[in-house]
Amino acid sequence: MNNKAVATPTRTKEILETYGFSFKKSLGQNFLIDVNILKNIIEHAGIDHSVGAIEIGPGIGALTEQLAIHADRVAAFEIDQRLLPILEDTLSAYDNVHIINQDILEADVTSVIKNTFHEGQEIHVVANLPYYITTPILMKLLMDQLPIDSITVMIQKEVADRMAAEPNTKSYGSLSIAVQYYTEAHVSMNVPKTVFMPQPNVDSSVLHLKMRDQPPVEVVDENFFFEIARATFGQRRKTLMNNLARHFKGKMDKEEIRHRLQRVEIDPGRRGESLTMEEFARLANVFYSESI
């Protein structure tokens, strides 16, 4: 095709028309049509010629093209088979891109990393993620404990805010705890819906997650730690006492719950959103023995 960047409205339309491509709502396909935004994402992600990049959902190759230009090599997971011939065309000028026709949620990402990148190479995940499946994808990447350095993703603004939220804010919840247990999270930039085709109904943000060498708190059991966090936010307006009593119904009475909260010096009248990560860890550790 021509030399114009993929991420322009005219080139995107031209590609879609050439291939008679129609968007699948079920896959949450929204293609980026602004090269400057893509270059900003590349910069926020810390991509340069020494690093490897993993992309999820390359679409017609708008972000992939920029990654191919700036990174050493790129592995991109695309679930929609209809896009494979398009990607072969739009990325034909680059020999450092490996397209994998697989659902990222089912993929063995560790072996893809082993087979695609140099040993010990710095690796960054960069993606424009479909809104409907953002959280499962990110949680898989975090919990699989992959040898990656960071994740930079364009996601729904509201979800990005929740993942990077601090205690005592409206957005803070069990998702904030889960993400920040594994990473240092911050919102790098907000993005208007006008830079997508088709336009989504919501605004987006670029979220940057820097992987931690180790979690900021020590917990006896990670799954239980996340479970307790979810339980305390079960009904946001209710106190810790009420949410925990509901969670441990039939296993532990209110008196025992009160006693344990006293042991870790946490007021039963507080709400989940007021607890720091460190307090959640103390809470989970003191209740863990009872859950086995």
- Annotated binding-site residues for S-adenosyl-L-methionine read 30, 32, 57, 78, 103, 128
Distance CA 154, CA 128 (A): 5
Angle of CA points 233, 235, 239, to nearest 5°: 80
Could you tell me which residues are annotated as the binding site? Answer: 30, 32, 57, 78, 103, 128
At 3, list the tokens: 């030399």
DSSP H helices, 149-239, are 157-163, 174-182, 222-232
Element (H, E) at 237: none
CA dihedral 35, 37, 40, 45 (to 10 degrees): -100
Rounded to 5°, angle at Cα 128 from 203 and 40? 80
Per DSSP, what are the bridge partners of residue 74? Answer: 53, 97
Please tell me whether residue 20 adopts helix, strand or coil conformation. Answer: coil
For the sheet containing 150-156, what is the strand order?
A: 97-100, 73-77, 52-56, 123-128, 150-156, 204-211, 183-191
Burial class, 278, CB count within 10 angstroms (exposed 0-12 / middle 13-18 / buried 19+): exposed
* Distance of alpha carbon 284 from alpha carbon 282, whole angstroms: 6
Cα 264 to the center of its chain, rounded Å = 32
Q: Is 98 helix (H, G, I), strand (E, B) or coil?
A: strand
Both structure tokens of 44: 């926020």
